[in-house]
Amino acid sequence: MSIDNPETEFTVVINDQEQYSIWPTYRPVPAGWKTVGVTGNKTECLEHINQSWTDQRPRRLRDARAS
């Protein structure tokens, strides 16, 4: 299966800086990333990210500005 195939299933992943991405479910999630429990086609996963990731700065930068 290819990531360009419209039938490819993805999972939404997040890293320790709370940055989101999508990853094909047929591949192991890379080190430093974990799943958030959302899977679907590319469009569905990207829609979830757009709704969830409202501040795209890394967590360390958000935390530094809050201090």
pLDDT tens for residues 23-63?
A: 999 999 999 999 999 999 999 999 999 999 887 677 777 76
Return the CATH number of 10-66, one of 3.90.820.10, 3.65.10.10, 3.40.50.620, 3.50.50.60. Answer: 3.90.820.10
pLDDT for position 61: 74
* CA angle centred on 45, ends 31 and 28, rounded to 5°: 25
The whole-model pTM stands at: 0.81
- The reported pLDDT for the residue numbered 54 is 82
| Res 67: pLDDT | 65
- pLDDT above 90 for 12: yes
Instruction: Summarize the confidence of residues 6-20 as an average pLDDT.
Output: 94
The domain segmentation of the chain, as residue ranges, is 10-66
CA–CA separation, 55 and 53 (whole Å): 6
Longest dimension (CA), the chain: 46
